[in-house]
Amino acid sequence: MRKLDNTAVGTRQRILEVAGEVFAETGFKGATVREICKRADVNVAAINYYFGDKEGLYVAVLKYWKTVAFEKYPADQGVDEGDPPEKRLRVFIQSILWRILDAGRASMLPKLVAREFIEPTSALDIWVDEAIRPMFELLSGIVEGLLGKGTPEATVRMCCTSVVGQCLYFVYARPVMKRLFGQGSFEKRDIEIIADHITAFSLHAIRGLAAGKKTGKKKGGTR
Amino acid sequence: MRKLDNTAVGTRQRILEVAGEVFAETGFKGATVREICKRADVNVAAINYYFGDKEGLYVAVLKYWKTVAFEKYPADQGVDEGDPPEKRLRVFIQSILWRILDAGRASMLPKLVAREFIEPTSALDIWVDEAIRPMFELLSGIVEGLLGKGTPEATVRMCCTSVVGQCLYFVYARPVMKRLFGQGSFEKRDIEIIADHITAFSLHAIRGLAAGKKTGKKKGGTR
DNA sequence: AATGGTTTAAAACTAATGTTTAAAACATGC
DNA sequence: GCATGTTTTAAACATTAGTTTTAAACCATT
């Protein structure tokens, strides 16, 4: 069996690096400590030695990759309070898409989090508090800026879910898109096109809702 | 151990009924045949007897519940080709939300499919061909009717993903919403409000994009 | 170089899970 | 009512996976 340069990076971290991929590919139950250890080229006992048990490893993995991802893409990146909400929305959408579609070192993280969405563990609470809630409040501010001050909170919230929903669709729908359109991965250029679209789509929508409200219309469309 | 009325409904179907829930809750790997059999109140050997093996049961479960769901909510329900696209869009969105958020007998199906999105099996191919593609083509027609005939296919496709993304957000984001807003389930009335919002949001967006295109503007917002 | 704490290694252990077996129970047609 | 095919049952089997154990290897400190 091929021996990687084990001295270059510690055993503990090597496990964290590969465990993220394995958990993302096959889920917590599906992942085996033997597979993880084989890929990390360490002894099977290493996981219990460093993390107590498999579950301890799992939470360590999520913590580890969250740190990595947020160092690369800070939540407030490039956002200037003074910028007009239109630009801030564009930056917000762009940064979400980057995090989701970037095929870098942390490319398995969205999949890990998506699994948490479906089958939550204690890790989701942390993720919501430290990652999602701040993002949501940032977006709420932007959307409120577009809708106008006195807008009901429910309306703001709905618009936020509309924006985020459009973005997240590209995480879990990738296998579907591959089967539907033949496109399963996204280049840098693709991501910009998508960001442009979602921004334009959402801006028209939000402005339309704001205008409809001012003129006293109750609903934007049919019924 | 309590004995349900086993004669009322056949062993095979009783397994299909409960297996859907178990697979949805814990995934294919996480689900154990013993747990399924216990809930169905049948012998452990029944699964191998009727479905060959665990995997055979899994594909049978997806096929079974797909049939059930599509009998309850046909893809073309209430859609009239002659209706204006605004109304058709509203009906389309409503029907997707019903399927996703309905807490009826097939309420575990969205979760099952969401798991397929993350970790596809052969069942996803079938699901895409028989459920998603027809829906997508239906939606494409509606969106094209709103955008105008000569609209590039890429634009139509993007708008479709925007609409669907908003809807599907309510499937997998439910645990997040529970933690974020305290709301984890949706009543009939909630679903209508959501459908109203997504319809209004999307109509403003699509009309805005159509208008922007006519007047020669290239992008809807910033940059 | 000896010592003491830390890390790694191979093997064994235990519990669980999917599957098979073989017999019993049941149902059906003649 | 018996014979035949089908279904159900309990037990056993084989494999796998998480964990533990025990000893060896390693490494810094004195």
pLDDT (tens digit per residue) in B85-95: 999 999 999 98
Q: How far is the C-alpha of A76 from the C-alpha of B201, rounded, in Å?
A: 26
Whole-number distance in Å between B122 CA and D7 C1': 30
Q: How far is the C-alpha of B126 from the C-alpha of B132, rounded, in Å?
A: 9
Q: Which residues have CB atoms below 7 Å from chain C, the nucleic strand? A: A 6, 10-11, 42-46, 49-50; B 31-35, 44-45, 47-48, 53-55
Cβ proximity of A206 and A146 under 8 Å = yes
Q: How far is the C-alpha of B4 from the C-alpha of B15, rounded, in Å?
A: 13
Return the pLDDT at A184: 74
Give me the long-range contacts of B51-54 (CB less than 8 A, separation at least 24). Answer: B51/B15, B54/B28
Per-residue model confidence as pLDDT tens digits over B181-202? 988 788 889 999 999 999 999 9
- Picking from B27, B117, B128, the nearest residue to A172 by CB comes out as B117
- Model confidence band, residue B8 (pLDDT cutoffs 50, 70, 90): low
Whole-number distance in Å between A125 CA and C13 C1': 36
- Model confidence band, residue B137 (pLDDT cutoffs 50, 70, 90): very high
Min Cα separation A6/chain B (Å): 31
Return the pLDDT at B99: 86
Per-residue model confidence as pLDDT tens digits over A116-164? 999 999 999 999 999 999 999 999 999 999 999 889 999 999 999 999 9
Residues 21-60 of A with CB under 7 A from strand D: 31-34, 44-45, 47-48, 53-55
Count Cβ–Cβ pairs < 8 Å, chain A vs chain B.
Answer: 198
Distances (CA, A) of A74 to A92, A190, B152: 11, 22, 35
Q: What is the pTM of this model?
A: 0.88
- Picking from B136, B158, B169, the nearest residue to A164 by CB comes out as B169
- Picking from B90, B125, B167, the nearest residue to A223 by CB comes out as B90
Q: How far is the C-alpha of A166 from the C-alpha of A198, rounded, in Å?
A: 7
Percentage of chain B with pLDDT > 70?
A: 89
The two tokens of residue A87 are 């630009």
Whole-number distance in Å between B25 CA and D6 C1': 33
Which nucleotide is the nearest neighbour of A52, by CA and C1'? Answer: D19
- Model confidence band, residue A65 (pLDDT cutoffs 50, 70, 90): very high
Q: Which fold has domain B62-222?
A: Tetracycline Repressor; domain 2 (1.10.357)
Strand D contacted by B49 CB (< 7 A): yes
B6 pLDDT above the threshold of 70? no
- CB–CB contact B194 A219 (8 Å): no
Per-residue model confidence as pLDDT tens digits over B107-133? 899 999 999 999 999 999 999 999 999
Closest Cα to residue A177, out of A194, A162, A154? A194
- Taking the domains of chain A in order of start, what are their residue ranges? 62-222
Whole-number distance in Å between B160 CA and C22 C1': 58
List all residues 6 or more positions away from A135 whose beta carbon is below 8 Å from its beta carbon: A75, A96
Closest Cα to residue B170, out of B156, B181, B159, B155? B181
Mean pLDDT calculated for residue range B32-47: 96
- CB–CB contact B194 A158 (8 Å): yes
Strand D contacted by B48 CB (< 7 A): no
List all residues 6 or more positions away from B101 whose beta carbon is below 8 Å from its beta carbon: B170, B186, B191
